[in-house]
Structure 1
Amino acid sequence: MTYDVSQHPHDRTTPDPQRGAEHFDFDFRPLDDLDEGQRWSTWLEVEPLSRGPEPRPAWVVTSQAAVDTELGVLKTGKEADAFLLERAVPDTDPTHPPGDFGQSVVMVAKRYRSEEHRTFHRSGAYTEGRRVRNTRDARAMAKKTAHGRAVAAGQWAWAEWQALTRLWTLGLPVPYPVQVDGTELLMEWITVEGEHGHETAPRLAQSRPEPGLLASYWEQTRDAMALMVQAGIVHGDLSPYNVLAAGERLVVIDLPQVVDLVGNVNGMDFLLRDCTHMATWFRARGLAVDEHDLFGELMAHAF
């Protein structure tokens, strides 16, 4: 049972004749049981390396008293589903209406499915050169046991976590990674202002930018890809569907398949494919760009 032990206006100190000192009278109130679709924050349940990089944004809620509340499905995918999840600290001030919350934030909870529940299986070309941290897990994955399938799902979540953490630290425009726990990855919800408040930012493929903004988007795309290449990283599945148009800035998403440009034998092929996907979209909207020119420019950053 969890209790609220904060002092209330009627709490007081009174002398204790037997103890010869003042003692405190507290009003212990059991907090309400959590509703369906709620859980206590898992922030402190994960190891420190599974929590977001520092310095952390001010909006990250780290209180042990926070409650996670499911808000609904954001997007379903072939290998993972994304949900909106609110992490909030209940307001225990007795003068406030019941149900009020103090610090709160809405995040994206991306949950990877085990292999038997996926409609798409990642190509082994993406995992070339990757290592499984535990040899027992590696054997289970090779034998495709139930444990192995669960490990595989967690490996994709961990791979995306590592990519987001590294790229965020490098200054790349990606969602801030809040934490990873097994097959669940919590990250920043990228939004734009809509008619009814905050709304999920549209994918670049759904946007219709005017010429000036289109040119800015292309420069941002080149800069982001160059920054990844300088770090020896290739997105591996970059397209207008894996980039969000958040007002005047672009944010790169969906990063579980990132590959090592040099360590993966398919690295150069993936980079050229990323260049082709992005250049084709911009060219179709009237911008004179070429994927081969972009590829050559990026290669100059790589070596």
Structure 2
Amino acid sequence: RSEALITDVLRPLKSGKEASVYLCRGAPGAPVPLVAVKDYHARERRNFKNDRMYKEGRVINKRRIRVAMEKKTRFGRQVEDGMWISREWEVLEQLYRADCAVPQPLSLAGRAIAMAFVGDESNAAPQLRHVTPSWEEAREWYEMLLDNVELFLANNLVHGDLSPYNVLVWEGDVTIIDLPQAVDARTNPNARDLLHRDVGNISAFFDQFGVRADPDAVAERLWRRFILGEL
């Protein structure tokens, strides 16, 4: 549980539409000295627009739950809420095991996910959008991110909302965050379009710094290799 991992809440890091994030000190024996705790807001306070496209293709085996979610009953909304949060945890675990550039997941408790903090006690890793890289750094980080988009896809996942807002940069490395909307590329009919959008978003950012690419060609090449089982 999160409380067994931490001894102190040091400061709030971010308060967004979906969640608030806090920097905490790891307890003795915790896997990391600094922990980020992402505390999801209640569903009525959250505002992730057009989440229907992320939910398509998802299999709900129990009819009672499926009907409740379709009718948007109170129970259905509660289930939906829990699935959104647990989805990020499951994706984090899967991608961390696959050596993707995501934070180390530590625990899931209620609405809160604890993960390794990216940064140090004085400074949080900045979002990519706040960084001005040299051409060499831009080229290197772009390749790192494309490698991770490919590795996500090799694990049947598309981030679905990748942008300079949810990439952190620290000590020359990139870390991808915010994963609850990640889709299964095998079952979600929007996966191909979302892959194109992800690659387009990061390509547009790095284009400002002289990194030239054809994002649609890059995304389509990745998708073709995925379909052919070549990843």
Would you call these one fold, judging by a TM-score over 0.5?
yes
* Displacement of 1:233: 1.1
* Displacement of 1:262: 2.7
Provide the rounded CA distance (Å) in 2 between the counterparts of 1:257 and 1:41: 23
* Displacement of 1:105: 2.7
Deviates more, 1:140-149 or 1:124-133: 140-149
Q: Where does residue 172 of structure 1 map in the other structure?
A: 100
Provide the rounded CA distance (Å) in 1 between the counterparts of 2:111 and 2:168: 23
Which of 80, 87, 98 lines up with 2:19 in the alignment? 80
Go from structure 1 to structure 2 and tell me whether the alpha carbon gap of 1:111 and 1:145 turns closer, same or farther (over 3 Å shift): farther
Provide the rounded CA distance (Å) in 1 between the counterparts of 2:163 and 2:212: 18
| 8 A contact 1:87–1:105 mirrored in 2 | yes
Provide the rounded CA distance (Å) in 1 between the counterparts of 2:162 and 2:109: 25
Go from structure 1 to structure 2 and tell me whether the alpha carbon gap of 1:245 and 1:139 turns closer, same or farther (over 3 Å shift): same
Q: Which residues in structure 2 correspond to 1:94-173 (within 5 Å)?
A: 105-132=33-60, 136-173=64-101
| 8 A contact 1:175–1:187 mirrored in 2 | yes
Which of 193, 199, 212 lines up with 2:136 in the alignment? 212
Does residue 290 (structure 1) correspond to residue 218 (structure 2)? The answer is: no
Task: Supply the AA of the counterpart residue of 1:153.
Answer: D
Does residue 70 (structure 1) correspond to residue 21 (structure 2)? The answer is: no
Determine helix, strand or coil for the equivalent of 2:213: coil
Provide the rounded CA distance (Å) in 1 between the counterparts of 2:141 and 2:42: 36
Provide the rounded CA distance (Å) in 2 between the counterparts of 1:239 and 1:171: 20
Deviates more, 1:121-130 or 1:208-217: 121-130
Does residue 181 (structure 1) correspond to residue 181 (structure 2)? The answer is: no
TM-score by length of 1: 0.68
| 8 A contact 1:113–1:153 mirrored in 2 | no
Q: Which residues in structure 2 correspond to 1:229-248 (within 5 Å)?
A: 229-248=153-172
* Displacement of 1:150: 3.0
Higher share of residues assigned helix: 2
**Higher relative contact order, chain-length normalized (CA < 8 Å, sep 6+):** 2
Q: Runs of 5+ in structure 1 lacking a partner?
A: 1-39, 44-60, 62-66, 90-101
Larger Rg over CA atoms: 1
Q: Runs of 5+ in structure 2 lacking a partner?
A: none
The count of corresponding residues between Structure 1 and Structure 2 is: 226
